Amino acid sequence: MRRIGGRGAVVAATLVLSLARAMPGHAGAQPAPAAANHAPAQSPAAAEQAPAAPPASAPPAGPVSHPPEAAKQAPAAPTASAPPAGTAAHAPEAAKQAAVAPPASAPSPIAKTPFAEVFAQLAARLEAVVVNISTTQAGTTAAKTADGKPANPGSQQLDELFRDFFGDRAGPGEQNGLAPPIASLGSGFIIDPSGLIVTNNHVVANAAEIAVTLADNTTYEAQVIGRDPVSDLALLKIDAKRPLPAAKWGDSGKARVGDWVLAIGNPFGLGGTVTSGIISATARDIHAGPYDDFLQTDASINRGNSGGPMFNLDGEVIGINTAIYSPSGGSIGIGFAIPSASARPIIDQLRTTGKVVRGWIGAHIQPVGDDLAEAVGLDKARGAMVATIDPGSPAASAKLQPGDVILSYDGHEIERSRQLPRLVAETPPETTVKLSVWHDGKAQEIDVKVGLLDPNRPAPPPPEPEKPKPPPTLDALGMRLARLSTELRKQFSLPETARGVVVTDVQANSAAAAKGLRAGDLVIAVGSGAVTTPEEVRQRAAAAKKTGRKELLVRVERDGITRFVALPAEPG
């Protein structure tokens, strides 16, 4: 079970996804005994007025959506011929107005069953399709320094922490320089009578041996048909020599927040553990990967539940339990499952080819918030804004541009930007799809031919940083002058206290060059007045020429030292 969260002082850190597998025999793996619920004694008067409880064989009336405890505690409704105790003195008027209820139609079979029995019936029917998975990873060479010491002398405590966290079982020592084998546990479920089993990739990744134990405690060696690290899914195969019971896929797209679910798995090595809860949220993005779309549940799932199924009340698999959020490593009622709508196409590909191919268009996107929607003229925040385009990609060929907003993809409206990567990934390569794009304040449609996503494709080089545009300049007194700016301060190492106009160049053979002026000097005054813009320098020179003055007094600063020079009062 991948875990999100920290341990100890790490609790306040940002969310961290980790693999979480169960270790059998761990001292902390025993479930705490449940506290008994003792009801307070009733007074005799209360006992006389309490309505009679229904016989054990008679289910309580009402809809089947009552929680189990409510179904157990619901009092039986009084019959029409026997008024409840303490209510014998009915008003005559009320008795006259009482209407006889029409006979109820025959209830459906599920309505005859108390809600508490629904889970028991489902568990009995479904536990045979759930399997326990144990893996062994071969030891690896332990890293050491040249003098034979551990490469990280402070890692022993961390190693113990992670061995406990991941549910790994290994001895503290090493033999012949090899780390001891690591054993871990997980869950899975059968999807075909021939022995095909779905689980999480992280349950079987890097495993040297994989054993699958069925509900009848028979154990088989399993082979990996295919794995997909991106979605964290894997498909296994066992040879059981007989048809096996298989689970049925359900439609996670129909799951609603509040729907009841069952989780069956192998937490802490306790195979066949059944827990129940509800769908707490849908379409959760937990930053586990580019295609996050998790179902969130409060059904208790722990280390070892990874790869196990989440069932709806029809007994269909609508999710694959994958991750938990926990500051301690145990369940706190926040678990995440890969929805069947996302998992099933991937499992079908693994079953057919042993690998997964995904579509690719080469457009990097970002969410569209209210501010961006307002800025581009959209009616509301929706779609996915194109941030960058990979050179030579299908998006580049289709003339998509940064700043475009993709509103729909192949007929699917894009309400949230993270919908788009999943839709593109599920599109077979070489398929041409139609995009609705918001461009320059209006919607337009373009066709894009989807390419093949290469997982080993190197990341595109970062765009070349834009070279700063040279500041506007003006020629005056034989010099090229510019306003002070942050870039010019950096270029000429000018202090923040510098004032005046920057000399960016000096004309060859000019009077300014003859007086030793150079780029980086500051013209801080012309005549008797300070100057801050090139335009002021030119105006002062023109004014001096009109008065017939041939030379103009210019005050110049270099390295904090000022001096005066006389320059011809001729603009140019």
Given 18, 168, 202, 292, the catalytic residue: 202
Residues in the chain: 572
- Both tokens of 393, joined, read 């990609």
Q: Which residues pair with 169 in a beta bridge?
A: 183
Closest by alpha carbon to 443, among 488, 481, 405, 485? 405
Which of 514-518's residues contact partners 24+ apart within 8 Å by CB, and which partners? 515/565, 515/566, 515/567, 517/479, 517/556, 517/565
Tell me, yes or no, if 306 is annotated catalytic. Answer: yes
Cα–Cα distance for residue pair 405/415, rounded to 1 Å? 11
Given 232, 292, 293, 404, the catalytic residue: 232
Contact call for residues 289 and 2 (beta carbons, < 8 A): no
**DSSP states of 162-225:** HHHHTT-B--SS-BTTBPPPEEEEEEEEEEETTTEEEE-HHHHTT-SEEEEE-TTS-EEE-EEE
Burial 71-80 (b: 16+ CB within 10 A, else e): beebeeeeee
Cα–Cα distance for residue pair 478/538, rounded to 1 Å? 11
Question: What contacts 315, CB < 8 A, 6 or more positions away?
Answer: 122, 125, 126, 248
Given 187, 280, 306, 326, the catalytic residue: 306
Residues 335/339/343/345 CA torsion (nearest 10 deg): -170
Cα–Cα distance for residue pair 546/543, rounded to 1 Å? 5
Helix, strand, coil percentages (3-state) for the chain, rounded to 5, are 20, 30, 50
Tell me, yes or no, if 232 is annotated catalytic. Answer: yes
Contact call for residues 311 and 305 (beta carbons, < 8 A): no
Active site residues: 202, 232, 306
